[in-house]
Copies of this chain bind each other. A is one copy, B any other.
Amino acid sequence: MATSKKPDDSQLEQRVNDAQILFDEADDVPVEKKTYEEALGLYLLSPSSALPELARLKVAKENLSRLGFDVTIDKAAANQHMRFAGADEERAKAFSRAAKSDADIVMATRGGYGLSRLLPYIDWKLLEKNPKKYVGYSDFTAFNLALLAKTGMTSFTGPNAVGDFGGNQVDDLIADIFVESMRGELEILSFETKDADDVDAEGILWGGNLALVASLVGTPYLPKIKKGILFLEDVSEHPYRVERLLTQLLHAGILDKQKAIVLGDFNDYKLVKSDNGYDMPEVIRWLRREVKVPVITGLPYGHADMRVTLPIGKKVGVATQDGMAYLLLDKHEHHDHEHGEDCKVCKGDKKKSSKKKHKK
């Protein structure tokens, strides 16, 4: 692995604090301050592409602080080595530093590309010994799935720090769902679906960016999930490329082994005249002809405006009814833990612990 030019790492925190906000929309940071009894430690690292602007990292830190997180920035988070946020070795070591930190949560500053080539160099055993809530999306899918394959640990797909919190246009819903998810307060996600097969099932939730999922097929970094709930999204891929990626999962025997396939956003592609009617809806029709597994569309997740936070590697429930789909992310199992007044799962309407009752 090559070495990278490092900025003066020990000074990064100061450099972030001093960073000039160079973009107009950051003049104002309207994220409403949340008050919690205790801030959650959140560690930011850069495992993929280099950050374009240090100022965005500063804004992300401020916004995440307002949302109730005590933010630490990895000393190499602003490194650059060609298109990467530092050399492979340094980016891999950042995961070890994060694991050894006292943060509860470890979040990627951004996606891009770089995790695939890092996978053999991450100290998975160290990560297993020091459980954290890892979160990120897009390129981060490679980490989510590799972590599950190598350690069995659940992690999260959800916002990246700079893309989702690095400007003043922070999406309330992205932020709320992320915060609730990190605080263990998110029981259920519901979304409109115009095109869902009937399903009422439970299984391990897994997936992420389709290109990344497919890129792990045949490698030790793809978890072998049977009877799971597989969710997928992708961006800037022509439908024929989406289909080819799905074909790999199909022919590898992965799709038929799932209990449900949940499709998020597939956006930012351009059809051409010679497609002659071929488009994403046709890909979904093809998918339904080829697999017997129920397919649900409409998950607000991916590279469009909205992305929910989802646990990867956790057993969840999925159901559809009357044009709505439901992901039961925290199944309330009364025999699993003691319930007191402060039980976050129990609080509020006790009926919420029944999945059926959620369908309304």
Binds B, one of A31-39, A155-163, A166-174, A244-252: A244-252
| Chain B residues positioned under 8 Å from A275 (CB to CB) | 82-83
Q: B243 and A117: CB pair below 8 A?
A: yes
Of B1, B113, B274, which is within 8 A of A50 by CB? B274
Does A340 sit at the interface, judged by CB under 8 A?
Answer: no
A99 vs chain B, min Cβ distance (A): 22
A4 vs chain B, min Cβ distance (A): 11
Most buried by B among A217, A222, A275, A286: A217
A275 vs chain B, min Cβ distance (A): 5
- CB contact under 8 A between A218 and B82, given known A1-B289, A49-B274, A113-B240: no
In the complex, the chain B residue whose C-beta lies closest to that of A84 is B278
Residue-by-residue, is A1-14 near B (CB-CB < 8 Å gives 1, otherwise 0)? 11000000000000
Residue-by-residue, is A94-121 near B (CB-CB < 8 Å gives 1, otherwise 0)? 0000000000000000000100110110
User: Chain A: residues with CB nearer than 8 A to chain B?
Assistant: 1-2, 49-50, 52, 80, 82-84, 113, 116-117, 119-120, 211, 214-222, 240, 243-245, 247-248, 251-252, 274-278, 282, 286, 289-290
Instruction: Give the 10 A-B CB pairs with smallest separation, nearest first.
Output: A218-B218, A219-B251, A217-B218, A82-B278, A218-B252, A83-B278, A113-B240, A116-B247, A82-B277, A83-B275
